[in-house]
Amino acid sequence: MDGLDDLKAKYLTAVATVTDEAALEDLRISALGKKGEISALMSGLGKMDPDQRKAAGAMLNVLKDEIDAALRAKKAGLADAALDARLREEWLDVTLPGRPRPRGTIHPVSQVMEELTAIFADMGFAVAEGPQVESDWYNFDALNIPPEHPARQEHDTFFMHRDAGDDRPPHVLRTQTSPVQIRAMTQAGAPIRVIAPGRVYRMDMDQTHTPMFHQVEGLAIDRDISMANLKWTLEEFCRAFFEVDKVELRFRASHFPFTEPSAEVDIRYSNVGGQLRIGEGDKWMEILGSGMVHPKVLAAAGVNPDEWQGFAFGMGIDRIAMLKYGIPDLRAFFESDLRWLRHYGFSALDMPDLAGGLSA
């Protein structure tokens, strides 16, 4: 066939001078594509007699293979050149120091949970846990809270939805961690000494309350436990938690359905230049509720009130966190970022030791 040498020279020269892969692909299509020059010559073989077809076909196949090989070699060369250029432009100095990564930080509520757990562990209290969706019996009945009590109304408590015809007992988002005390006594009996930290839920939504917050409750049951043991336990906790040598607590008579007698507990403090100082001054602030466990609560948990007695207490973890670290606004717990946390002294390495302090 005439002109094959010129066609070969044309495409090999074009391949040699092409400078990017897009132009190379256009060149491949114009030569070997379905409508390319060589493909058109191949399609014309059918019009030749057998001897001509055989000779022409062999020459076209050789030409096709040579151009295809040139195209492949050029493509590999362009890829290598692009890689070399990228390596020159994107070099990395491995002798430079590493790039620092952002560090997380422990949240004040989580840190205070760890602190109080360590402090009470030193006094022999184990940690007990229970479900956050609780039955009406564990959350109210077993705690001697009567049906007419305001806490059992929908304006105070989150009740779980029930479809029509669903006659299962009511369930609620627990309003305190006291149900954990019932479960702990039911499972372990007496004597027992536990704390129950965790989330609780109430229909409180204003500037000083949120519908979800955190509590820790304590329970100690034995044969000869008294209010004196309760007072010592709370004083030791406050001394370790607030990291002060002197703590003065005031017990005021109160009423809780699950304790008898019951007492609100205040702590002495002062406010100097907007800073709270625990253990000194002439002001008092309520920090928790407490009392001797009601005999009906012991009986509901399967503990004989004629043989055993004990004390219980409960406090808001968010509240004591604010007191200890001088956090003025409860909303800061939910709108905080790392700058805010560091402002109040929280970092990733702050961990409580068994004395209730922080170690870095």
Q: pLDDT truncated to tens, each residue of the chain (360 aa)?
A: 567 778 888 888 888 888 888 888 888 888 888 777 888 887 777 777 777 777 877 887 887 888 888 888 988 988 888 888 888 888 777 788 888 877 667 778 888 999 999 999 999 999 999 999 999 899 999 999 887 777 666 557 888 888 888 888 888 899 999 999 999 999 999 999 999 999 999 877 655 567 888 999 999 999 999 999 999 999 999 999 999 988 999 999 999 999 999 999 999 988 887 778 888 888 999 999 999 999 999 999 999 999 999 999 999 998 888 888 877 665 555 555 556 566 656 654 444 444 444 443
> Tokens representing 253?
């008579």
Please indicate, yes or no, whether the overall pTM of this predicted structure exceeds 0.95.
Answer: no
Longest dimension (CA), the chain: 120
Q: Tell me the C-alpha distance between 79 and 20, whole Å.
A: 9
* Distance from C-alpha of 337 to C-alpha of 344, rounded to nearest angstrom: 11
Q: Distance between CA 265 and CA 172 in Å, rounded? A: 28
SS (H, E, C) the chain: CCCHHHHHHHHHHHHHHCCCHHHHHHHHHHHHCCCCHHHHHHHHHHHCCHHHHHHHHHHHHHHHHHHHHHHHHHHHHHHHHHHHHHHHHCCCCCCCCCCCCCCCCCCHHHHHHHHHHHHHHHCCCEECCCCCEEEHHHHCHHHCCCCCCHHHCCCCCCECCCCCCCCCCCEEECCCCHHHHHHHHHHHCCCEEEEEEEEEECCCCECCECCEEEEEEEEEEECCCCHHHHHHHHHHHHHHHCCCCCCCEEEEEEEECCEEEEEEEEEEEEEECCEEEECCCCEEEEEEEEEEECHHHHHHCCCCCCCCEEEEEEEEHHHHHHHHHCCCCHHHHCCCCHHHHHHCCCCCCCEECCCCCEEC
Residues 126 and 337: their CA atoms lie apart, in Å, by 32
Q: What are phi and psi of 93, to 5 degrees?
A: -85, 100
* Region of residue 204 (phi > 0: left; psi between -120 and 50: alpha; otherwise: beta): beta
